[in-house]
Amino acid sequence: MARFLVPLGIFLVLVGFLYVGLNLNPREIPSPLIGKPAPDFTLPGLKDPEQSFSRADLLGKVTLVNAWASWCTTCRQEHHLLMELARTEGVQIYGINYKDTREDALAYLQQLGDPYVISGHDIQGRVGLDFGVIATPETFIIDRKGVIRYKQTGAITVEAWRETIAPLLERLEAEEG
């Protein structure tokens, strides 16, 4: 009897592993930056290059930092949700315009609306590199002290907003500054 049970057991364990593996998203690489202070950066503003966007702008409030680009189709899908969050939920969204030309990025905001308090123009992706951005869109939730608390890889979906991000923002708002 053991003759059959042992291979069957091994087979079932293997099936279990494969089944779990099938449902994992290989794009979701855990970020080592969670729980760490957001990297120090300064970027020229997208709309006004004279204006700058730096880490200091994020302190003292709970913010969303969204890495986006006009060439990124998933960003387009996410955009209307960002607009809504900025308009109706009063979420402070900051943008890192990642490896984009200024004209393309401005045209994109012109066409779809601008949910960002300010967008920095990261033309070479250097700040993106410091944030460990792999592929836009990625969104970081940053607390009052400037610590990264969560990373959303890929577009923010309505479910992700409802189940994860909104409760987290609420919790962070309640934290001592």
Partner 1 sequence: MRILLLFLALFASMPALAIVEQADVMPADFDNPEQKARFRALTEELRCTVCQNQNIADSHASLARDVRRQVLNLIKQGKSDEEVVDYLVARYGDFVRYRPPFDARTAVLWLGPFVFLLVGLWALLAFIRRRNREQTASVLDAEEQVALQKALNALKDHDASAGGDK
Closest to 38 measured CA to CA, from 55, 54, 53, 52:
55
C-beta separation of 86 from 93 below 8 A: yes
**Dist. CA 57–CA 52, nearest whole Å:** 9
Note whether 147 binds partner 1 by CB under 8 A. no
Q: Which is nearer to partner 1, 27 or 159 (CB)?
A: 27
Stretch that binds partner 1, among 40-48, 72-80, 122-130, 160-168 (CB under 8 A): 122-130
Closest to 104 measured CA to CA, from 68, 140, 138, 53:
68
Note whether 123 binds partner 1 by CB under 8 A. yes
Note whether 90 binds partner 1 by CB under 8 A. no
- Residue 31 Cβ vs partner 1, minimum distance, rounded to whole Å: 7
One symbol per residue from 24 to 63: x for binding partner 1 (CB under 8 A), - otherwise; what is it? --x--xxxxx------------------------------
Write out the residues near partner 1 by the rule CB under 8 A.
26, 29-33, 71, 99-101, 104, 123-126, 129-132, 134-135
